[in-house]
């Protein structure tokens, strides 16, 4: 497969909306755990909590959104979070 994939890991508590831990899987097999928060106002926040330790010089959110497009990353994360 030659595209970004995502796997649902678990829902996590949040007072702001529905939040989940999602595993993003790049075509080369690299995996990145993210938090996706689907806010009650309809907006979505993504957080890459562990990648700043592995990749201190890279803004992983910018990397993913530019490499795979905003629509792809947000759609994968939102769909799994809201399932």
The answer to the question of residue 83 being in a domain is: no
pLDDT profile of the chain (83 residues), mean per 10: 88 95 94 94 87 67 86 93 95
Residue 12 in domain: yes
Q: What is the pLDDT of residue 55?
A: 65
Q: Give the residue numbers spanning the domain of 38.
A: 5-77
pLDDT of residue 25: 95
> Considering its fold, how many domains does the chain have in total?
1
Q: Under the phi-then-psi rule, with left for phi > 0, alpha for psi from -120 to 50, and beta for the rest, what region is 17?
A: left
Residue-level pLDDT at 20: 97
- Asked if the structure places residue 15 within a domain, the reply is yes
Structure confidence at residue 59 (pLDDT): 79
């Amino acid at each position: 497969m030659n595209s970004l994939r995502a796997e649902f890991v678990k829902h996590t508590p949040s007072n702001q909306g529905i939040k989940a831990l999602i595993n993003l899987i790049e075509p080369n097999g690299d995996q990145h755990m993210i938090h996706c928060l689907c806010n009650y106002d309809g907006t979505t926040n993504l957080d890459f909590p562990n990648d700043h330790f592995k990749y201190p010089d890279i803004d992983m959110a910018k990397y993913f959104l530019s490499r795979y497009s905003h629509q792809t990353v947000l759609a994968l994360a939102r769909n799994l979070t809201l399932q």
